[in-house]
Structure 1
Amino acid sequence: MSDLIVIGYEERSVANRAFKTVQELEKAHVVDLGGLAVVSVDLEGEIHVDTPKKSEKTAVSATAGALWGLVFGIVVLTPGLGVVGAAIGGLIGKLSQMGIDKGFREKVQSLLEPGSNAVVIMASKMNEEKFAAAMQGYGGTVLKTSLAEEDEKELVDQLAGDAG
């Protein structure tokens, strides 16, 4: 089982520092990451995603691909934003089946208003006490949901199928 954690910040500099701290926590074996990113929404509403360098393990794993599918499925690919293709519709359906309910998606969307930032984390294992203590100084709004292993695999398979 993995946790999807979205921590919202008003300032990009704070999100960047939190992002670096999460990377340090992974190196210290406090958290086992499947994906990590800083998502920023500029004042025009355009979404920007920054990930660890490609040489780092979190950027090249299959689960990291699932994380970006989740981020964009939650934040961008929502019904009602215009024409939704069959592949995108399938991804949205998969997100709903996985227990990523509409309420959670709406909370993430409201967190990522223009001018805001978030650190998005997919973690398969975590020492929650040490993680919380390390992240406490950054503040932010924390949203969290869990994904079962079989749901993660199905999402990775769905995303691979959509890419081909």
Structure 2
Amino acid sequence: MATLTVWKFDAPEGAAAVENTLRDMQKQELIKIVDAAVVSWPEGASKPKTRQMNNLAGVGALSGTFWGMLFGLIFFMPLLGAAIGAAAGALGGKMADVGIDDDFIDSVKSKVTPGTSALFLLSQDAVVDRVRSAFPPEHTELISTNLSAEKETRLREVFEEN
């Protein structure tokens, strides 16, 4: 079973700073990283910067399409206007089908704001307490949702690159 976790950091560079920590944890077999992406939102910026962490992604990593659509739903939809409202509704439905519901989206949207960053991590076999203890505790918050094997398969089907 895969777990999609979102780790929020209290500084725009916080999420990027834990890349080496994740690499080390993967070497110690404390986590199997399937895919990861970073969102950095500098203070004063109108929108966050996003980046897929391909150098950490494992076999079976999701496409950039998944991350782009997820980040679009979370951070950019108000900027896009009503013209694509129907498409957004359909996309939201697909995300809900794979276990990423409105509560998850709203929670991330309300917590990842200017002056913060977030690490979006799709992993397997993680020892979450060890991951949590490896990150700076006073500046890190965990938001997570678990994906069943069935929902993980559905996620890959929905966002598979052609």
Fold match, TM over 0.5?
yes
* TM-score normalized with structure 1 length: 0.78
Q: Deviations over 1:144-163 (max 9, x none)?
A: 11011222222222223xx6
SS of match in other structure, 2:99: coil
- Most deviating of 102-111 and 130-139: 130-139
Judge conservation of contact 2:30–2:126 (CA < 8 Å) in 1.
Answer: yes
Structure 1, unmatched stretches of 5+, are: none
SS of match in other structure, 1:12: coil
Structure 1: how far apart are the matches of 2:136 and 2:69?
Answer: 25
1:12: which partner in 2?
12
Output the amino acid matched with 1:63: L
Judge conservation of contact 1:34–1:123 (CA < 8 Å) in 2.
Answer: yes
Equivalent residues, number: 160
Q: Post-superposition shift, 1:102?
A: 1.6
Q: Post-superposition shift, 1:129?
A: 3.2
* TM-score normalized with structure 2 length: 0.79
Q: Deviations over 1:107-157 (max 9, x none)?
A: 100112123211111111112332222125463121011011222222222
- RMSD over aligned CA atoms reads 2.9
1:115: which partner in 2?
115
Q: Post-superposition shift, 1:76?
A: 3.6
Judge conservation of contact 1:39–1:47 (CA < 8 Å) in 2.
Answer: yes
Q: Post-superposition shift, 1:89?
A: 3.6
CA 1:78–1:99: 2 relative to 1, 3 Å? farther
Q: Post-superposition shift, 1:17?
A: 2.0
SS of match in other structure, 2:144: strand
Judge conservation of contact 1:38–1:50 (CA < 8 Å) in 2.
Answer: yes
Percent identical pairs in the alignment equals 25
Runs (4+) off by over 6 Å: none
CA 1:41–1:101: 2 relative to 1, 3 Å? same
Residue 94 of structure 2 is aligned to residue 68 of structure 1: no
Structure 2: how far apart are the matches of 1:22 and 1:70?
Answer: 24
Q: Post-superposition shift, 1:98?
A: 2.6
1:44: which partner in 2?
45
Q: Deviations over 1:12-69 (max 9, x none)?
A: 33322223211221122110011112211243332312233x4x36167343557515
Structure 2, unmatched stretches of 5+, are: none
Q: Post-superposition shift, 1:87?
A: 5.4
SS of match in other structure, 1:118: strand
CA 1:51–1:23: 2 relative to 1, 3 Å? farther
Structure 2: how far apart are the matches of 1:3 and 1:134?
Answer: 18
